[in-house]
Amino acid sequence: MSAHTTTSEARQGLSCRDLFSPYFEDKRVTIYHGDCRQIVPALGRFDLLLTDPPYGIGEHGGKARTRGKSTANHEKMGWDNAPPEKWVLDMLLDKCDKKMIFGGNYFDLPPSRCWLYWRKLMGGDFADGELVWTSLDAVVREFTKPNKGGKNQHPTQKPLEVMQWCIQQAGDVETILDPFAGSGTTGEAAKHLGKRAVLIEREEKYCEIAANRLAQEVLF
């Protein structure tokens, strides 16, 4: 099914559930396994877009020397071989009232007054931190949380505390969209804060990890 076909059907009044079956669902989080270019047009609006798209800088190949062997299991998946097309980012921005995009410095996005900075203290040839572009009319904020990454199940998995902090910076939001969901940290953070989230992930391996992770969470 093409993105164009999905958009056309959605306009005829079909809901996302008419077109796609959730991979996982509870009272707070829904996970869809598939391509966000097809699924998002069939969804309604959200209060917050919070996501970490592939940057297209080749990290899937473990190009930085200090990555060691930790990326070996991810190299064949091509998870960072290309960034989303601009029309995809535009579509995602249009779906949400407030927006937060990790790695916003890699994308063609509007000027922002409020950038979030995650200071992650990793050392070596890793960056000192990560920038999150936002649409918020607020001042720049910083959050320090060391990223050890020892038990990560996705190569770009963020600490739960970082995603919770991002949601809190957005203020009064209830519904969250993450169309590049990875191992589901956005969903876990939303659940902890009593929000509702829709996650989309194209690799079934990570859908399974996210579903197992969220199934073990206490429902708030």
Would you list the domain boundaries of the chain?
3-215
> pTM score, two decimals?
0.84
Please give the CATH number for the structural domain made up of 3-215. Answer: 3.40.50.150
Tens of pLDDT, residue by residue, the chain (220 residues): 344 444 555 555 677 878 899 999 999 999 999 999 999 999 999 999 999 999 987 654 444 444 444 444 444 445 556 899 999 999 999 999 999 999 999 999 999 999 999 999 888 888 899 999 999 999 999 999 998 766 777 787 899 999 999 999 999 999 999 999 999 999 999 999 999 999 999 999 999 999 999 998 655 4
Read off the tokens for 76.
Answer: 């064949």
Which residues have a Cβ under 8 Å from the Cβ of 46 and sit 6 or more positions away?
A: 95, 96, 97, 175, 176, 177, 198
**Closest to 152 (Cα-Cα) out of 212, 193, 209:** 209
Burial class of 29 by CB neighbour count within 10 A (0 to 12, 13 to 18, 19+): buried
| Cα–Cα distance for residue pair 144/105, rounded to 1 Å | 19
Residue type for 62, please?
A: G
- Please give the pLDDT value at position 153: 75
